[in-house]
């Protein structure tokens, strides 16, 4: 094969590798969609909510009848006496059999069913808030892990480039030393900067591996050529708007409010134990004694049963008082949830504002450092600048580029933190192209279910 053919083949292979890399490149939206569909913590939270959904049909069962079938069958030997004297000198064998069907329909149970149903429905709403909070946490962790990898890959590339620049600088310095233009001190300074660059590059590569490991933990697979987002997530223009949305829509606040509502309904549940209960009971039974010429007894009856608690050792009153304290606790926790949401929104907003200012400052600093480095290099050629001046100028430009990468990362992470504080760090709030989990579908499916133990 000719040299030209080898060259063309090498170019084709390089382009092929580039295309493969391009095909493997993933965006932040891809990562968030993958996390939404497969993260174990999020899937466990959905399962927990489905279990909470079942508390509603459990409460509604208080309206429904219970049906019980009971029966006995056996064989026995019996002796009987009359007036103290033995009637028969032998044992009598019998085969007793009986069965009964009992139906019990609650008519009134002190309002317990109504209160328990309200409590269960409030618990479901609180569970939905907790699910949304978990979804936000998982997606925020995924976005942060993605952006950490993007940042650390960029820093590694900057360090590699810086090391290459300093290596060329060292080679040029050594050449100038050989011709007597500079001293051995200049060469040592260049060697020291190169050694520092190597150490920084190794440290950056270690940081990148840590970020990749965290990405795998959150997303479930290694990152595949992550592409940095073009801009940060859109957020309101003022903190007042952020604050208003956070206090109204933050899932931790919503969940805490519904938890307090469930605790209030629990007071009525506890109080119902002090009220009378009334039920209608029907029984059909049949008893057969095979030893007595097939004698049988059939019973059919319907009875109203009233139960009025008079004193139950103070247990019900203790439960009632405890539930009132629990309600007070839950209301205070809801107040704290609002404070926490406001603090999170404030912190994220200020972090975002600071990151935006840093991005602008570092962008201007890079432009100035590029001009300064070019000037120092020109001045060094005519001997008015030393090797150390050039090394310092290169280091300042390198540092400003790294700082810009970090500032852009912080801006994007802070924008997602603002969305999380507002309750918008969800698949719906982010507009992810996924089949969104509908928590109400399972609830509506089981709410009125009377029988069946199967689950999806």
Q: What is the pLDDT of residue 146?
A: 96
Q: What is the C-alpha to C-alpha distance for residues 194 and 333, in angstroms, rounded to an integer?
A: 56
Contact present, 434 and 31 (Cβ < 8 Å):
no
> Residue 77's pLDDT is what?
72
Could you tell me if residue 227 is inside a domain? yes
pLDDT computed for residue 18 by the predictor: 40
Residue 3 falls within a domain, yes or no?
no
Q: Residues 319-370: pLDDT tens digits? A: 999 999 999 999 999 999 999 999 999 999 999 999 999 999 999 999 999 9
Instruction: Specify the pLDDT at position 432.
Output: 92
pLDDT in tens, the chain (456 residues): 443 444 344 444 443 444 434 446 789 999 999 999 999 999 999 999 999 999 999 999 999 999 999 988 877 776 666 555 555 555 667 777 888 999 999 999 989 999 999 999 999 999 999 999 999 999 999 999 999 999 999 999 999 998 999 898 888 889 888 988 888 998 999 899 999 999 999 999 999 999 999 999 999 999 988 999 988 899 999 999 999 999 999 999 999 999 999 999 999 999 999 999 999 999 998 888 766 556 778 888 999 999 999 988 999 999 999 999 999 999 999 999 999 999 999 999 999 999 999 999 999 999 999 999 999 988 888 888 888 888 889 999 999 999 999 999 999 999 999 999 999 999 999 999 999 999 999 989 988 888 888 887
Q: Is there a domain that residue 436 lies in?
A: no
Identify whether 188 is part of a domain: yes
Quote the number of domains for the chain: 1
| Cα 306 to Cα 295: distance, rounded to the nearest angstrom | 34
HEC assignment per residue over 405-444: HHHHHHHHHHHHHHHHHCCCCCHHHHCCCCCCCCHHHHHH
Q: Is 370 exposed, middle or buried (0-12, 13-18, 19+ CB in 10 A)?
A: middle
**72 belongs to a structural domain:** no
Give the pLDDT confidence score for residue 22 in this predicted structure. 43
Q: Which domain holds residue 199?
A: 26-64+110-274+315-431
Residue 96: per-residue pLDDT: 78
Residue 225 maps to which CATH number? 1.20.1600.10
How far apart, in whole angstroms, are the C-alpha atoms of residue 357 and residue 355?
Answer: 5
Q: Answer yes or no: is 302 within a domain.
A: no
- Kindly report the pTM of this predicted structure: 0.85
85 belongs to a structural domain: no
**For position 11, what pLDDT does the model report?**
40
Please check whether residue 373 lies inside any domain of the structure.
yes
């Amino acid at each position: 094969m000719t040299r030209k053919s080898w060259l063309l083949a090498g170019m084709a292979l390089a382009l092929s590798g580039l295309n493969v890399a391009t095909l493997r490149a993933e965006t932040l939206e891809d990562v968030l969609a993958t996390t939404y569909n497969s993260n174990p913590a999020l899937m466990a939270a959905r399962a927990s909510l489905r279990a909470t959904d079942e508390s509603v049909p459990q409460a509604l069962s208080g309206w429904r009848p219970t049906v019980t079938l009971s029966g006995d069958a056996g064989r026995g030997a019996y002796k009987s006496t009359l007036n103290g004297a033995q009637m028969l000198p032998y044992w009598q064998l019998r085969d007793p059999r009986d069965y009964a069907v009992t139906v019990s329909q609650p008519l009134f149970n002190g309002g317990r069913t109504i209160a328990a149903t309200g409590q269960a429905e409030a618990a479901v709403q609180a569970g939905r808030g907790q699910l949304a909070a978990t979804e936000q946490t998982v997606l925020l962790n995924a976005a942060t892990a993605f952006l950490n990898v993007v940042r650390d890959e960029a820093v590694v590339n900057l360090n590699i480039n810086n090391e290459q620049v300093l290596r060329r600088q060292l080679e040029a310095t050594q050449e100038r030393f050989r011709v007597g233009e500079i001293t051995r001190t200049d060469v040592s300074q260049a060697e020291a900067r190169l050694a520092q660059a190597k150490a920084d590059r190794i440290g950056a590569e270690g940081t990148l591996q840590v970020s990749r490991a965290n990405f795998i933990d959150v997303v479930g697979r290694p990152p595949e050529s992550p592409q940095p987002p073009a801009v940060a997530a859109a957020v309101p223009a003022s903190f007042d708007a952020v604050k208003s949305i956070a206090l109204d829509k933050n899932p931790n606040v919503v969940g805490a409010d519904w938890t307090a509502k469930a605790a209030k309904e629990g007071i009525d549940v506890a109080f119902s134990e002090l009220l009378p209960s009334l039920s209608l009971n029907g029984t059909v039974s049949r008893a057969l004694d095979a030893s007595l010429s097939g004698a049988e007894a059939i019973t059919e009856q319907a009875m109203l049963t009233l139960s009025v608690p008079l004193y139950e050792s103070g247990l019900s009153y203790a439960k009632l008082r405890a539930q009132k304290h629990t309600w007070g606790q839950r209301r205070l926790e809801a107040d704290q949830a609002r404070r926490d949401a406001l603090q999170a929104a404030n912190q994220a907003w200020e972090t975002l504002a600071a990151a935006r200012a840093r991005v602008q400052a570092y962008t201007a600093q890079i432009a100035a450092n590029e001009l300064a480095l070019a000037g120092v290099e020109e001045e060094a050629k005519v001997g008015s600048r030393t090797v150390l001046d050039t090394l310092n100028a290169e280091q300042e430009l390198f540092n400003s580029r790294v700082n810009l990468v970090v500032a852009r990362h912080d801006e994007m992470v802070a924008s997602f933190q603002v969305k999380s504080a507002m309750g918008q760090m969800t698949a719906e709030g982010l507009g992810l192209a996924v089949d969104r989990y509908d928590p109400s579908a399972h609830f509506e499916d089981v709410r009125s279910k009377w029988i069946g133990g199967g689950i999806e």
